[in-house]
Amino acid sequence: MCGIVGAIAHRNVTNILITGLKRLEYRGYDSAGVAVINGEGLQRVRRQGKVAALEEAVHEQNTAGFLGIAHTRWATHGRPSEENAHPHLSGDGLAVVHNGIIENFQELKDELEQDGYHFQSQTDTEVVAHLLHRTLGESGGDLRRALQKAVKQLHGAYALGVVDQREPDRLVAVRSGSPLVVGLGIDENYVASDQLALLPVTNRFIFLDEGDLVELTTDQVRVFDRHGEPVERAVHEFDGAHEDVEKGEYRHFMQKEIFEQPAAIQRTLQDRIDSPDAVSAAFGEAARTIFDRVRSVQIVACGTSYHAGMVARYWLEALAGIPCQVEVASEFRYRQHVVPEGTLFVTISQSGETADTLAALRDTGSDNYVGRLAICNVDGSSLVRESELTFLTKAGPEIGVASTKAFTTQLAGLMMLVLALGRRHGLSDERIEQILSELRQLPNLLEQATALDKPIEALSRAFVEKHHTLFLGRGVQFPVAMEGALKLKEISYIHAEAYPAGELKHGPLALVDKEMPVVAVAPNDELLEKLKSNLQEVRARGGELYLFADKNARVADGEGIHVLHLPAVPESIAPIVYTVPLQLLSYHVAVLRGTDVDQPRNLAKSVTVE
């Protein structure tokens, strides 16, 4: 979704801005723009479409300045177009970029129109520009104070970056409900909606708190809290390499991220699974006392992260004997729900900024919650900062919109949670040690799963011309099938549905014919024999079967049955390993269909608006 980059320096900042925008492209957007301030005043360039088009225009027009803001827009109010692209202007030289949604924009717009402001776009953001302009007039021209005052009238979510040609030596920004991070340079400073945008110029960041406003000059960063009081915020150092966000030898980020999974899981588990005691410590200092009080678990997440939660429910109830509910955040937050005493509230999120998940967390007022745990990939994100307990998945930056390594590392973290809680609920140390040793096999098993790339590529050809597919799994593999179906629809645009195989005859069997490939995941577990009978039902209707099966599962290629064997995998970690071939299948089908694998149409990496 929308991205913000801003910079103030003693040099031309357009390259910093454009590079930053390019690094945010993965989030999904439909237009881009930049505004810089130089000796001649404010210069704005905007383009519908890709940042590359904006970059070309910026070069053609020799756009340059020591101060500037830039934006990638994902349309909410008003269609994707140049006139709706940010920055939006007011008066002579005030420019605003915005992420989020201003809910009371119509009301403010009516009022501002009555005051004589003319609107050039259909966006909610232009309202902010004019409102700020009007407030500036009333506040005697001080940009920071005017912004502080103006945002009090905004309802909704926003991260705003503002420059004004009358104040060419400062950039102001403010956040509420949408993320914003400050990057600290040497004699220059920056702001962005995501630290990834700024990694080429700095690795030192301040994550702003809700309601924080920041004023940047070349040599100073001053943060003010929601009441306008100056505050100190901690400086964090990014400890990854900024090459993490380069494709390297790979054709797509998604491909790179699939192949990174053995190393990513290694990082997730590193120093955290040496003993049953070490496991709890990975969830934060307060984990020991909070975990002692847990009697039930409520998991809330969206998209792929929701599927991770569904897998965890099977594990929690089977291994730890703890009741667990899982729900998508957009439903959970608007539903009256009963919170059993002793409930641990768990959010799962790659980004830590998903609007619905965050809203659900902020709504956990009930005394029956014993604590809030975020399982998240981004340190410093809103979910992490607002939860008492955190498990950082350490997957490294994930750029492909379709989530891959974030999912498998979440699952590894969730299994650790199950062990930590299970230990307090009668799961024996012996069984815990056994699962820990199985977790240690993961990097190696994931390596073996990615080695199936070539045969899966060959298999993928059978899907290219199809319009519909069915994914089947049983038990803990049902959410894996759901994740497989989600991947395929996200990036290949082929309609894909997942069903628990036992439900086949209650409806989906009516759809099965030779035009509908059926994909099934068949590890060697207690449900294997039942799954095999379900697959017979598919074959009997002429359905073409694609089976990812354990090498000991005694299933072989036959007419209409295509089997790809996986290594023997311990049951505890099978969902993690079986996810990989499904990711590879979607990837290859999408490549063959020629879709935009890393930035599929209409989707965004980080959904920061409702």
Residue 178 binds to ligand G6P (criterion: CB under 6 A):
no
**How does strand 389-392 pair with strand 369-376?**
parallel
Residue nearest to ligand G6P (CB): 303
Cα separation, 581 vs 415, in Å, equals 21
43 vs 351, beta carbon nearer ligand G6P: 351
Residue 349 binds to ligand G6P (criterion: CB under 6 A):
yes
Helices (H), 276-423: 276-281, 287-292, 303-315, 329-332, 355-362, 382-385, 405-423
Determine which residue in the list 303, 380, 422, 475 makes contact with ligand G6P, applying CB under 6 A. Answer: 303
Segment interacting with ligand G6P, rule: CB under 6 A, options 244-252, 282-290, 300-308, 510-518? 300-308
From the list 50, 405, 487, 605, the catalytic residue is 605
Spatial neighbors of 48 by CB under 8 A, at least 6 apart, are 30, 31, 80, 81, 82, 85
Determine which residue in the list 351, 583, 599, 608 makes contact with ligand G6P, applying CB under 6 A. Answer: 351
Residue 605 binds to ligand G6P (criterion: CB under 6 A):
yes
13 vs 481, beta carbon nearer ligand G6P: 481
From the list 2, 302, 324, 376, the catalytic residue is 2
Segment interacting with ligand G6P, rule: CB under 6 A, options 43-51, 226-234, 303-311, 336-344? 303-311
Determine which residue in the list 150, 182, 302, 311 makes contact with ligand G6P, applying CB under 6 A. Answer: 302
- Angstrom CA distances, 524 to 95, 181, 422, 535, stand at 60, 47, 24, 15
Pull the structure tokens for residue 499. 């069903």
Residue 304 binds to ligand G6P (criterion: CB under 6 A):
yes
Backbone angles phi, psi at 527, to 5 degrees: -95, 5
Segment interacting with ligand G6P, rule: CB under 6 A, options 37-45, 202-210, 213-221, 299-307? 299-307
Determine which residue in the list 184, 392, 607, 609 makes contact with ligand G6P, applying CB under 6 A. Answer: 607
State the burial class of residue 64 (Cβ atoms within 10 Å of its Cβ: 0-12, 13-18, 19+): middle
343 vs 606, beta carbon nearer ligand G6P: 606
Q: In what order do the strands lie in the sheet with 545-550?
A: 495-500, 468-473, 518-522, 545-550, 561-566
Min. distance of Cβ 377 from ligand G6P in angstroms?
Answer: 8
Answer for the pair 275, 380: CB distance below 8 angstroms, yes or no.
Answer: no
Residue 401 binds to ligand G6P (criterion: CB under 6 A):
yes
69 vs 264, beta carbon nearer ligand G6P: 264
Answer for the pair 542, 513: CB distance below 8 angstroms, yes or no.
Answer: yes
DSSP 59-72: HHTT---SEEEEEE
Min. distance of Cβ 461 from ligand G6P in angstroms?
Answer: 26
A 10 A CB-CB count for 509 gives 17
Pull the structure tokens for residue 548. 């990812």
Segment interacting with ligand G6P, rule: CB under 6 A, options 17-25, 99-107, 302-310, 491-499? 302-310
Closest C-alpha among 181, 120, 178, 189 to residue 154: 178
276 vs 303, beta carbon nearer ligand G6P: 303
Min. distance of Cβ 26 from ligand G6P in angstroms?
Answer: 10
Min. distance of Cβ 404 from ligand G6P in angstroms?
Answer: 9
21 vs 401, beta carbon nearer ligand G6P: 401
Answer for the pair 452, 410: CB distance below 8 angstroms, yes or no.
Answer: no
Cα separation, 79 vs 81, in Å, equals 6
Residue 44 backbone zone (phi > 0: left; psi -120 to 50: alpha; other: beta): beta
Answer for the pair 123, 77: CB distance below 8 angstroms, yes or no.
Answer: yes
Segment interacting with ligand G6P, rule: CB under 6 A, options 197-205, 297-305, 417-425, 468-476? 297-305
Segment interacting with ligand G6P, rule: CB under 6 A, options 138-146, 347-355, 492-500, 537-545? 347-355
Residue 357 binds to ligand G6P (criterion: CB under 6 A):
yes
Determine which residue in the list 403, 469, 477, 492 makes contact with ligand G6P, applying CB under 6 A. Answer: 403
184 vs 401, beta carbon nearer ligand G6P: 401
State the burial class of residue 546 (Cβ atoms within 10 Å of its Cβ: 0-12, 13-18, 19+): buried
46 vs 605, beta carbon nearer ligand G6P: 605
Determine which residue in the list 283, 606, 608, 609 makes contact with ligand G6P, applying CB under 6 A. Answer: 606
Q: Which amino acid is at 340?
A: P
Pull the structure tokens for residue 378. 């981004």
Min. distance of Cβ 31 from ligand G6P in angstroms?
Answer: 20
Residue 450 binds to ligand G6P (criterion: CB under 6 A):
no
Give the chain's end-to-end CA distance (angstroms, integer).
11
2 is catalytic: yes
63 vs 193, beta carbon nearer ligand G6P: 193
Cα separation, 559 vs 566, in Å, equals 20
Segment interacting with ligand G6P, rule: CB under 6 A, options 67-75, 235-243, 275-283, 343-351? 343-351
CA 216 to chain centre: 28
Determine which residue in the list 295, 592, 603, 610 makes contact with ligand G6P, applying CB under 6 A. Answer: 603
Number of residues that bind ligand G6P (CB under 6 A): 16
65 vs 575, beta carbon nearer ligand G6P: 575
Cα separation, 15 vs 211, in Å, equals 29
Per CB under 6 A, contacts with ligand G6P among 305-324 are 305
Min. distance of Cβ 403 from ligand G6P in angstroms?
Answer: 4
Answer for the pair 128, 98: CB distance below 8 angstroms, yes or no.
Answer: yes
Min. distance of Cβ 300 from ligand G6P in angstroms?
Answer: 10
DSSP 505-528: GGTGGGG-STTS-EEEEE-SSTTH
Catalytic residues: 2, 605
Site for ligand G6P, rule CB under 6 A: 302-305, 349-351, 354, 357, 401-403, 603, 605-607
